[in-house]
Structure 1
Amino acid sequence: MKKILFLFLSIFSWNLFANFEVITLGNSGGVVVGTTTSYIIRDIKSKFYLGLDAGSTVNGLEMALKKGNFKDIRVPEDSKYTKLGYIFRDSIKGYFLSHAHIDHIAGLVMSSTEDTKKNIYALPSVIDILEKNVFNWRVWPNFGDSGEGFKLGTYSYKKMEVGKEFEIEETGLYGRIFPLSHSNYESSVLIIRSGDEYFAFFGDTGADKVEKSDLLRNVWKELGQKLKDGKLKGIILEVSFPNSVEDKNLFGHLNAKWLIDEMKVLSEYSGGTENLKKLNVIINHIKPNFLKDSNPEEIIKKEIDKENIYKIKFFYPKSGDSIIF
């Protein structure tokens, strides 16, 4: 009886202090189509999600359904859509795109023919690429509300100002976008707010010391006090390569060594390394390869475990997995 009561109280207290549900739709850094970077996030008090990049939307939603997620979503009796179609069309209310590399937008492009009207939130550099190089009637029809040729208007482009908070419509969430350096190409991070709790999704990024940049440090300044106060519920951050890859060949990505080095910078703004124990980090964008006797995911996990002197909590969810923060 005591064990049952303890379990009930543990679950109750977890849900009481949880703010976000994050479902992984794709966590890979490339090669395998339908597994690349894509997540959805919601305030747990809401039934509507925001997409965080869109490398593998429908594939990931299908996997999430197979794993028993979305039990609280009911398809209206008069709907002509399957549950997969209903969730894709109705439950996702918009997308944040960190940058426009194909492994972060492929799912959005391919599924746009079946999508409903939604906002795309991004820095102007991302929207410009979508307008000129993707939705241009040569690569794909123009599903945007601006750009070349006839505009189908499925997606409303929202060019956001750096650091200025905006409402993520119909989700109960708010966001601020900050730039990142991805091998001298502009990527970005979205800091999401629900009430006074926060979650951060990082697009591809290299370490400041490698990129000769201070853009990650600027983000750690934003997140440091939130972590110290226990208000930063988690982050999604990439680690693409093992430590054996030379810095010159990282091409704007992190490895375990540089990940932990950046966590040390975060500690400078969060009251010291002891507070890093409060941090939850989903590791994203591990790049597979075709080498014999080589498993990049296992190698990177071991390297992160070895480097993790600060006892940070790391997560490695697969497509379809849900985590509550």
Structure 2
Amino acid sequence: MRQRTYNLISTSILYLMFVSVGQAQSVFNVIPLGVKGGGAEGNLSAYMVAPVNSQAYVCLDGGTVRQGIEVAVANGAFAATADQVSRSFVKGFLISHAHLDHVSGMITNAPEDTAKFIYAFPKCLEIIKNHYFNWESWPNFGSEGVNPLKKYTYKPLSEGQDIPLENTEMTLKTFSLSHGNPYESAAFLIQTNGKQVLYFGDTGPDEVEKSTKLQKVWEAVAPLIKAKTLTGIFMEVSYPNEQPDNKLFGHLTPNWLMKEMEKLAVLAGKENMRDLRVIITHIKPAGQNEIIIKGQLESNNALGLKIIYPEQGTAFEL
């Protein structure tokens, strides 16, 4: 009887240790509101991210917002209404660049929204202010410009600067990207409790863009991969390998993504790249693109990356 009791206690301790480790490994909760590139009107780039067990999210880009939240609520991602999620859970938008497939949901849903922050590079904020929130394209819900309604407060970003994300438990560091040189996009490194997740807006490969911007990001995050604190990388693959380099328009193919991952592996160590989670975003919806891109990624994954294809409204943890 004593031995049986000891075995039960030992089993319980091992179970609790396993659960504790599993919980420690999940740091961020992610709700994809939109996962496609331009053309998929109701499913465009936007990802809600918060620490696990927190309801204070930021939205990475804002292509599709309300419709994505409604899908997420229907899928059980939230124990709340779409109105509550949209108005109360989202504390701010991190906008990588001002192309319509990354901002249209944020803009069109502004009339029903509550006060929030928009984080972006100054040029991106200028485009939002001058071309969208200008009382011609849409009422000015921004904090600057012509007769501002001041619902959204602009937060200009500086490359490499660590800042708090207001009303959340997260901090942000931003990197400049080339999205069809000289057009600027951004990558966001979000941190909480000593762990990070990295989100890329649209970007082309350094070799095609005649740039070193991606290399600078790899140099910055390689130590985090070595330390096993980077929980995942969101990165776009818009076109299949058949797309010519001169028709990439600042985007990636499976081959170019893997070439950039190889550059990262040189800095981080190939042994540390295995099972690194890479979340594929912004696949263009035309034709058989998605099927082709998935096949090309899976057949060229020599590094053993854990490739994730997010689905609209389906929550996952990193």
What TM-score, normalized to structure 1? Answer: 0.91
Instruction: Measure, in 2, the Cα distance between the counterparts of 1:308 and 1:10.
Output: 30
Which residue of the partner structure matches residue 160 of structure 1? 157
Spell out structure 1 runs of 4+ moving beyond 6 A: 4-9
One-letter amino acid of the structure 2 residue matched with residue 90 of structure 1: S
Instruction: Measure, in 2, the Cα distance between the counterparts of 1:9 and 1:40.
Output: 30
Shift of 1:32: 2.0
One-letter amino acid of the structure 1 residue matched with residue 303 of structure 2: Y
Instruction: Measure, in 1, the Cα distance between the counterparts of 2:293 and 2:275.
Output: 22
Contact 1:227-1:278 at 8 Å conserved across structures: no
Which residue of the partner structure matches residue 15 of structure 1? 23
1:26 and 2:34 are equivalent in the alignment = yes
Instruction: Measure, in 2, the Cα distance between the counterparts of 1:14 and 1:186.
Output: 38
1:239 to 237, 248, 251: 237
- Structure 1 residues without counterparts, runs of 5 or longer: 74-82
Instruction: Measure, in 2, the Cα distance between the counterparts of 1:243 and 1:28.
Output: 17
Shift of 1:46: 2.0
Instruction: Measure, in 1, the Cα distance between the counterparts of 2:25 and 2:256.
Output: 31
Instruction: Measure, in 2, the Cα distance between the counterparts of 1:171 and 1:196.
Output: 15
Contact 1:260-1:308 at 8 Å conserved across structures: yes
1:156-235 mapped onto 2 (5 Å cutoff): 156-184=153-181, 185-235=183-233
CA RMSD of the aligned region, Å? 1.7
Instruction: Measure, in 2, the Cα distance between the counterparts of 1:288 and 1:278.
Output: 27
1:94 and 2:87 are equivalent in the alignment = no
One-letter amino acid of the structure 2 residue matched with residue 179 of structure 1: S
1:113-152 mapped onto 2 (5 Å cutoff): 113-147=111-145, 149-152=146-149
Instruction: Measure, in 2, the Cα distance between the counterparts of 1:112 and 1:7.
Output: 47
1:63-82 mapped onto 2 (5 Å cutoff): 63-71=71-79
Which residue of the partner structure matches residue 3 of structure 2? none
Shift of 1:170: 1.1
Identity %: 38
Which residue of the partner structure matches residue 76 of structure 1? none
SS in 1 for 2:32: strand
SS in 2 for 1:65: helix
1:311 and 2:304 are equivalent in the alignment = yes
Which residue of the partner structure matches residue 287 of structure 1? 284
Instruction: Give the number of the structure whose alpha-carbon radius of gyration is greater.
Output: 2
Contact 1:230-1:278 at 8 Å conserved across structures: no
- Structure 2 residues without counterparts, runs of 5 or longer: 1-7
One-letter amino acid of the structure 1 residue matched with residue 58 of structure 2: L
SS in 1 for 2:196: strand
Instruction: Measure, in 2, the Cα distance between the counterparts of 1:243 and 1:7.
Output: 46
1:227-261 deviation per Cα after TM superposition (whole angstroms, max 9, x unaligned): 01100001110000000111111110000000000
Instruction: Measure, in 2, the Cα distance between the counterparts of 1:169 and 1:25.
Output: 21
Shift of 1:18: 1.4
Shift of 1:21: 0.6
1:60-90 deviation per Cα after TM superposition (whole angstroms, max 9, x unaligned): 111111111113x5xxxxxxxxx11011000
Instruction: Measure, in 1, the Cα distance between the counterparts of 2:111 and 2:134.
Output: 14
Instruction: Measure, in 2, the Cα distance between the counterparts of 1:32 and 1:259.
Output: 22
Instruction: Measure, in 2, the Cα distance between the counterparts of 1:10 and 1:99.
Output: 41
Shift of 1:91: 0.5
Instruction: Measure, in 2, the Cα distance between the counterparts of 1:204 and 1:213.
Output: 14
Instruction: Measure, in 1, the Cα distance between the counterparts of 2:127 and 2:21.
Output: 45
Instruction: Measure, in 1, the Cα distance between the counterparts of 2:20 and 2:315.
Output: 18
Shift of 1:276: 0.8
One-letter amino acid of the structure 1 residue matched with residue 244 of structure 2: E
Identify if the C-alpha distance between structure 1 residues 209 and 65 changes in structure 2 by more than 3 Å, giving closer, same or farther: same
1:301 and 2:294 are equivalent in the alignment = yes
Identify if the C-alpha distance between structure 1 residues 67 and 9 changes in structure 2 by more than 3 Å, giving closer, same or farther: farther
Shift of 1:288: 1.2
Q: Would you say how many aligned residue pairs link Structure 1 and Structure 2?
A: 308
Which residue of the partner structure matches residue 78 of structure 1? none
What TM-score, normalized to structure 2? Answer: 0.93
